[in-house]
Amino acid sequence: MLRFIVIILMIVIFFLVFSLPLYLILWIVGKLKGLETRSRFAQAIVAFIFRLIIKLAGVKLTVHGLEHVPKDKAIVYVANHRGFFDIIIGYTLVPGITGFIAKKEVQHVPFLSWWMYFVNCLFLDRDNLKEGLKTILEGIKRLKNGISIFVFPEGTRSRTDRMLPFKEGTMKLAEKSGAPIVPVTFVGTGDIFENQFPRVRPGHIIVDFGQPVYMQELEKEEKRHLGAKMQETIQNTYDLLFPQK
């Protein structure tokens, strides 16, 4: 419980004490240096805070395959979702400007939603098809402008070691932008927090970045069922890694 209290206190202090001055600095950076520089600066700040959280949580982190991620283009990262630490760890590992797709409800959380705006996050309304399509189209636009997108196609956290069905709609991000897909497998993230809420327990997390998938190399039938293909790829990797955790 002590770890949980310390992490919460750190987050509260950051939001209440440092956020407003940093917002002003980011606004000035955006005006003087442009939005790309502002995004890089904001993401560096968020990644720093997330690394502190990982350290305070006592997480041992093992990363495989980061060398597979292309460094010269925007990427669609497709990952399984087991807990909050998927996002926290993911942000500390991605090499370029990257926005996560989050559920719409987070958009109404003060301070947090402002930071998510600065780091190119998008908010998806899972209950409104029209609004959901707008989010996907905005994601495609950002990918074409060089901003990577990180998505959890299950739509919510899985409570078991079997993944929920991947939503095919999110695969349109890659199909319409031409960006490669990098499958990302998280193992052990749920053990840190969700499995013993509200405690934060030290543990070992494994993250695996798979080989990129290029849309132009896929057959028509593979494109139609790309979500299922990515789910199978990530599930197979998860099953291989889990006994080693």
**Nearest partner of 161 among 188, 198, 197, judged by Cα:** 188
Distance in angstroms (rounded) separating the CA atoms of residues 189 and 194: 8
Specify the 3-state DSSP secondary structure of 161. Answer: coil
Query: What is residue 17's DSSP assignment?
Result: I
Q: Are strands 98-103 and 148-151 parallel, antiparallel or unpaired?
A: parallel
What is the per-residue pLDDT across 126-177, written as a single tens digit (0 to 9) for each?
778 788 888 989 999 999 999 999 999 987 777 777 888 888 888 889 888 9
Residues 49-63 have a mean pLDDT of 94
**Nearest partner of 100 among 108, 175, 86, 110, judged by Cα:** 86
Mean of pLDDT over the chain = 89
Residues 16-30 have a mean pLDDT of 88
Q: What's CA 155's distance to the chain center, in Å? A: 12
Distance in angstroms (rounded) separating the CA atoms of residues 76 and 150: 6
Residues 102-128 have a mean pLDDT of 84
Q: Which amino acid is at 124?
A: L
**Nearest partner of 78 among 199, 198, 178, 208, judged by Cα:** 208
- The reported pLDDT for the residue numbered 18 is 85
Distance in angstroms (rounded) separating the CA atoms of residues 159 and 163: 9
The H-or-E segment that residue 208 falls in is strand 203-209
Task: Quickly state the pLDDT bin for 180 (edges 50, 70, 90).
Answer: very high
Pair 57, 11: CB distance under 8 Å: no
- pTM summary value: 0.91
- For residue 245, pLDDT over 70 is answered with no
